[in-house]
């Protein structure tokens, strides 16, 4: 199956008074039609900046994409004109933003805000777009959808607002949906409902999804492949089954070790990763995880390992084999 999206060597910096922050440092990934890719990692590792850079949503200044390509259906998003990228955003590639509480304009009705992409991208009239919005709100589980078109965002709960955000992202039948930690601000019960809703809509509409999160538990039941990010790099990528059964990077081991498991017979102490993520005023020339890694050797402090293939569709950036405790062959 052909790639619908292919990002290669993406680098993004932010120029601040304190110095230049190297937020994304040569990220590469691909996405196939109908596939779900999970991007995981702790806060500040570059997950959101990676996809925002691809869609040209980084504020400039201070942000700037300094290298890389992002091919969508053969065209480089980073080289499109402003008008061309506007035709792609919302219509062909849609995004659910992180916080449903602040993503809506508080003085415009829900109907007005959700109908805007339909009028801008599909040329619908006001009546046509409102009919379509009511249909979409009903699809995502908003009761009495048509009656609520003239309600304002504050009249919806957090979970309902997130459902409206999903409806807004799907109005133009996009081929790619990017979900940037869409369940972070919601309680656990609502999180589960939103994940099930997205899975159902993915199966019905056949779209590809990039799901960004720091919650490996959500990714386990949702994604086909997982990319683990640290300090602006992808440090491990594999199918979801392979990653959970055979993690090869010390950071991935730490993330999975910090999750409580329901399938274990004996209770065990959860693992914590000591130390803090690096401050990226300099682009790392050694392994960025080395100061926190119990497997580090001298080479880790001298060279930054590239991604190496360790199995079918499994890549890892580590000089050491954590299974054998010796150098990776």
pLDDT tens digits, 198-256: 888 888 888 899 999 888 888 888 899 999 999 999 999 999 999 998 999 999 988 88
Task: Give the phi and the psi of residue 99 in degrees, each rounded to 5.
Answer: -120, 110
Task: Give the phi and the psi of residue 138 in degrees, each rounded to 5.
Answer: -65, -40
Share of the chain above pLDDT 90, in %: 36
> Residue 117 above 90 pLDDT?
no
- Give the pLDDT score at 170: 82
Q: Examine residue 61 and say whether the peptide bond preceding it is cis (omega within 30 degrees of 0).
A: yes
Confidence of residue 195 (pLDDT cuts 50, 70, 90): confident
- Give the pLDDT score at 202: 85
- Give the pLDDT score at 263: 61
Q: What is the mean pLDDT of residues 253-272?
A: 73
Higher-confidence residue: 4 or 182? Answer: 4
Identify the weakest region by mean pLDDT among 24-28, 80-84, 96-100, 167-171: 96-100
> Residue 186 above 90 pLDDT?
no
Torsion over CA: 232, 177, 172, 6 (sign): positive
**C-alpha to C-alpha distance for 8 and 30, rounded to whole angstroms:** 8
Q: Please state, rounded to an integer, the average pLDDT across all residues of the chain.
A: 87
Is the pTM value of this prediction over 0.85? yes
pLDDT digits over 118-169, tens only?
Answer: 888 888 888 888 998 998 888 888 888 888 999 999 998 888 888 888 888 8
Q: What is the mean pLDDT of residues 278-298?
A: 89
> Residue 11 above 90 pLDDT?
yes
**C-alpha to C-alpha distance for 278 and 301, rounded to whole angstroms:** 14
Written as six digits, the tokens of 21 are 């922050």
**C-alpha to C-alpha distance for 288 and 182, rounded to whole angstroms:** 28
- Give the pLDDT score at 158: 80
Identify the weakest region by mean pLDDT among 45-49, 100-104, 258-262: 258-262
Bridge partners (DSSP) of residue 156 are none
- Give the pLDDT score at 240: 92
Q: In 252-275, which positions are buried (b, 16+ CB within 10 angstroms) versus exposed (e)?
A: bbbbbeeeeeeeeeeeeeeeebee
Confidence of residue 51 (pLDDT cuts 50, 70, 90): very high
Residue among 104, 58, 87 at smallest CA distance from 172: 87
> Residue 265 above 80 pLDDT?
no
- Give the pLDDT score at 259: 73
Q: What is the mean pLDDT of residues 298-321?
A: 90
> Residue 258 above 70 pLDDT?
yes
> Residue 89 above 90 pLDDT?
no
**CA 190 vs CA 45, 193, 194, 197: distances in Å:** 26, 5, 6, 10
- Give the pLDDT score at 261: 67
**C-alpha to C-alpha distance for 78 and 65, rounded to whole angstroms:** 8
> Residue 1 above 80 pLDDT?
no
Confidence of residue 288 (pLDDT cuts 50, 70, 90): very high
> Residue 172 above 90 pLDDT?
no
């Amino acid at each position: 199956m052909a790639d619908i999206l292919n990002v290669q060597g993406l680098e993004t910096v932010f120029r601040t008074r304190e110095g230049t922050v190297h937020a994304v440092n040569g990220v590469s990934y691909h996405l196939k039609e109908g596939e779900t890719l999970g991007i995981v990692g702790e806060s500040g590792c570059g997950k959101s900046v990676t996809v925002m850079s691809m869609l040209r949503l980084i504020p400039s200044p201070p942000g700037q994409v300094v290298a890389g390509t992002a091919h969508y259906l053969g065209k480089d998003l980073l080289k499109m004109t402003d008008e061309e990228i506007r035709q792609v955003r919302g219509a062909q590639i849609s995004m659910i933003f992180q916080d449903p509480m602040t993503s809506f304009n508080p003085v415009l009705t829900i109907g007005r805000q959700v109908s805007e992409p339909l009028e801008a991208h599909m040329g619908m009239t006001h009546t046509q777009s409102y009919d379509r919005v009511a249909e979409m709100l009903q699809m995502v589980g908003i009761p009495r959808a048509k009656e609520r078109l003239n309600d304002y965002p504050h009249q919806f709960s957090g979970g309902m607002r997130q459902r409206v955000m999903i409806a807004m992202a799907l109005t133009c039948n996009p081929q790619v949906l990017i979900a940037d930690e869409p369940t972070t601000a919601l309680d656990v019960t609502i999180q589960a409902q939103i994940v099930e809703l997205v899975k159902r809509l993915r199966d019905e509409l056949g779209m590809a999804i990039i799901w960004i999160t720091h919650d490996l538990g959500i990714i386990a039941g949702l994604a086909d492949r997982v990319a683990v990010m640290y300090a602006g790099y992808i440090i491990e990528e594999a199918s979801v089954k392979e990653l959970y059964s055979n993690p090869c990077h010390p950071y991935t081991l730490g993330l999975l070790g910090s999750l409580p498991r329901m399938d274990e017979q004996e209770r065990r102490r959860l693992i914590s990763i000591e130390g803090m993520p690096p401050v990226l005023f300099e682009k790392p020339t050694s392994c960025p995880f080395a100061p926190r890694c119990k497997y580090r050797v001298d080479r880790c402090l001298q060279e930054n390992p590239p991604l190496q293939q360790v199995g079918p569709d499994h890549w890892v950036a580590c000089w050491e084999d954590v299974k054998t405790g010796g150098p990776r062959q």
